[in-house]
A and B are shown apart, each in its own frame.
Chain A
Amino acid sequence: MEFVVAMAIGVLTASGIWLILRPRTFQVILGLALLSYGVNLFIFAMGRLVTDRPPIILDGALSSSDYADPVPQALVLTAIVISFATTALFLVLLLAARGLTGTDHVDGKEPDA
């Protein structure tokens, strides 16, 4: 499972970084979305990967493998909300930039050919 999660985080982050370095605003926003998925999964994984365990300490649970760490789950929720809101704002800005400058290049003008 560790390998699959690590691969997922790696692929998401790598694609995200490639996309935010692209010249079109739509590619950048997709890149930011992928990056945020990668980061959220990473936070989640930092609470250690545990299956079939509740995120509370039950009676008799003594070692850390007896429960899933609830803190990263709370952190991920906050991070999801924040990145969702900023992505929405970025989308509005993207449309405004397209309307005002007439191009979807990130610099607001086409590079000189």
Chain B
Amino acid sequence: MITVLHHLLIIPILAPLLAGALQLFLAEQRVIRVACALGSVLVQAATALTLLYLTTDSMPHMWTEGVGVYAIGSWPAPFGIVLVVDRLSALMLVLTSMVALASLVYSLAYWDRVAPAFHSLFQFLLMGLNGAFLTGDLFNLFVFFEVLLAASYGLLLHGSGIGRVRASLHYITVNLVASFLFLIGIAMIYGMTGTLNMADLAGRITLLAPRDRALFASGAAILGVAFLIKAGTWPLNFWLPTTYTAASSPIGALFCLMTKVGVYAVLRVGTLLASGDEQTSFIDVGLFYGGAATIAYAVIGMLASHRLGRVVSFTVVASTGLLFMALGLRVTALTAPVMLYLVNSVLATSAFFMLNGLAQRTRTLRMREAADLAPLPDVTYVGFGVKQSADPLSPKDEVGVAIPAAMAFLGLAFVCSVLLVAGLPPLSGFLAKFALLRTALGQDSSAEISGYTWTFCAAVLASGLAALIALTRVGLRLFWAVRGRTTPRLRIIEVGPTAFLILLCLALTAGAGPVMTYLESAARSLHSPQVYIRVVHATQEATP
């Protein structure tokens, strides 16, 4: 039993890899493809939940203090690649599998039939995400970043159309350049320390000669810039709103998670490097101002946008800015609320992207837009030599059976999502923002509250207010303006996932106590990386 559990760490990477590869050969039978995809996502969800359970110290004899390590090929730590799961990784894995499940089921209604390789790319994207959250090696992190980016290029183009091709051109260029920066950063760090293992790295920083320190710090800074580009921090994020708006709705939901991979990388690498180096305060100041500028950009963007998809894209930008601002405050106690806010914003914005896809159907399209958005399925099907699927619903058939009270559902889901994104009571968005503000203000109650803290509080409130104004305005036009609108026909497999994500947020609200306890222990282990480092080094003794 224990040996089986030890191999659990590799499953979130293997399951989507095998499923994705298998689906390439099953292009003809849609039923098998769908079963494969659903099975893989369910396996990932079960694995992620088990890992989450294991990191709560429920089996203390197996993992010490909630950190599990898996040496691939039984090569000991600094020489081989290790997978490490701690509480933050487990949390991100669960979040990934939940969003993936919702997005996959949603896409079964229409989007997976637009092009043949959809399911494979979807699985490879999940593989990249899971791998990036699990790996304990810097170069391996780069490889998994590339896996998820390569899959995301394909998925962004999914559905074709001029808008998507134009957005992809910018998205791919920016991300390729970011990858080069990533490589330069890794190479400099390797050149200075001679290791790529994150835990080993943290130990070697203190041993660096003083003349090498500046070069190491610039390497780390270049790496940080690469992460910030992926996360979408101003001024490196002008590609983001256009790209996210152009993506089809289930893919947009997954993309919300991808910006948070950048945030995760900053958290993971940042805390490990900071443990060995006291001179990292310039990075925090940079994060703070970068986050503040990102929020300002997002607020202006939200207020200037008129379409729901674009407003939601800017709320994604705003949430990234808020996370970086909070991290830049350099207050250890803020890490747990930061994670709560991260989970909440991913779930809420993903639900919002799906909702956007449904709500767009109330619009009776003007001809030009319709021509821009219309997919070109025939070209890709012919290109891949795949016969058109003989489904009763042809790919052009985006509408389905009307479920009663479609408008009521749309309205209710919209209100819930707005409350979650803007951070208004009674839902978890409010709890997360309240926890952020309370921790920031309560931190130095004896001393003077610093200008940084006040700026942070102002930014939290301003971004919430802007989101509320912009979304209310769009909502009024979507649901109350009668002209040019029809009652949409929705299918239950589209409504279900959207509701599922919102219900997860409700569960987060109801269970905020236990969740916060878990997040606080996750934050504790992040800020005392000695355990992480010790466990990774222990693979040396464990291997014969």
Please report which residues of chain B, range 132-154, place their CB below 8 angstroms from some CB of chain A when the two chains form the complex: 139, 143, 146, 149-150, 153-154
For the complex formed, measure the closest distance between the CB of B198 and the CB atoms of chain A, giving whole angstroms: 15
In the complex formed, the residue of B with least CB distance to A40 is B183
Determine which of A28, A42, A78, A108 lies in contact with B173 in the assembled complex, contact meaning CB atoms within 8 Å. A28
Asked if residues B184 and A106 are in contact (CB atoms below 8 Å), the reply is: no
Q: Which of A39, A46, A101, A108 has the most CB of B within 10 A?
A: A46
Asked if residues B169 and A32 are in contact (CB atoms below 8 Å), the reply is: no
Please report which residues of chain B, range 160-201, place their CB below 8 angstroms from some CB of chain A when the two chains form the complex: 160-162, 165-166, 168-170, 172-173, 176-177, 179-180, 183-184, 186-188, 190-191, 196
In the complex formed, the residue of B with least CB distance to A92 is B157
Question: Which A residues are CB-close (under 8 A) to B180?
Answer: 35-36, 39
1/0 contact trace for B228-265 toward A, CB 8 Å?
Answer: 00000000000000000000000000000000000000
Asked if residues A39 and B166 are in contact (CB atoms below 8 Å), the reply is: no
Question: Which A residues are CB-close (under 8 A) to B150?
Answer: 82, 85-86, 89
Interchain CA distance A113-B154 in the complex, whole Å: 34
Interchain CA distance A111-B426 in the complex, whole Å: 48
For the complex formed, measure the closest distance between the CB of B145 and the CB atoms of chain A, giving whole angstroms: 10
Interchain CA distance A97-B187 in the complex, whole Å: 34
Question: Which A residues are CB-close (under 8 A) to B179?
Answer: 82-83, 86
1/0 contact trace for A39-76 toward B, CB 8 Å?
Answer: 10011001110000000000000000000000110010
Question: Which B residues are CB-close (under 8 A) to A93?
Answer: 153, 157, 165, 168-169, 172
Interchain CA distance A25-B157 in the complex, whole Å: 17
Given known A86-B172, A108-B169, contact A78–B162 (CB-CB < 8 A): no
Question: Which A residues are CB-close (under 8 A) to B143?
Answer: 78, 82
Asked if residues B165 and A39 are in contact (CB atoms below 8 Å), the reply is: no
Asked if residues A72 and B190 are in contact (CB atoms below 8 Å), the reply is: yes
The answer to whether A110 has its CB under 8 Å from any CB of chain B is no
The answer to whether A8 has its CB under 8 Å from any CB of chain B is no
* Total residues of chain A contacting the partner, CB 8 A: 32
Interchain CA distance A93-B156 in the complex, whole Å: 12
Asked if residues B165 and A101 are in contact (CB atoms below 8 Å), the reply is: yes
Asked if residues A20 and B196 are in contact (CB atoms below 8 Å), the reply is: no
In the complex formed, the residue of A with least CB distance to B173 is A28
Asked if residues B183 and A43 are in contact (CB atoms below 8 Å), the reply is: yes
Question: Which A residues are CB-close (under 8 A) to B187?
Answer: 39, 42-43, 46, 72, 75
In the complex formed, the residue of A with least CB distance to B192 is A46
Asked if residues B173 and A97 are in contact (CB atoms below 8 Å), the reply is: no
The answer to whether A30 has its CB under 8 Å from any CB of chain B is no
Given known A39-B180, A71-B190, contact A20–B166 (CB-CB < 8 A): no
For the complex formed, measure the closest distance between the CB of A106 and the CB atoms of chain B, giving whole angstroms: 6
The answer to whether A26 has its CB under 8 Å from any CB of chain B is no
In the complex formed, the residue of A with least CB distance to B188 is A46
Determine which of A25, A35, A79 lies in contact with B177 in the assembled complex, contact meaning CB atoms within 8 Å. A35
Question: Which B residues are CB-close (under 8 A) to A101?
Answer: 162, 165-166
10 nearest A-B residue pairs (beta carbon): A46-B191, A108-B166, A46-B187, A43-B187, A39-B180, A100-B162, A82-B146, A97-B165, A39-B183, A96-B165
- 21 A-B contacts (beta carbon < 8 Å): A35-B177, A35-B180, A36-B180, A42-B184, A46-B187, A48-B191, A71-B190, A71-B196, A72-B187, A82-B146, A83-B176, A86-B149, A89-B153, A89-B154, A93-B153, A93-B165, A97-B165, A97-B166, A100-B162, A108-B166, A108-B169
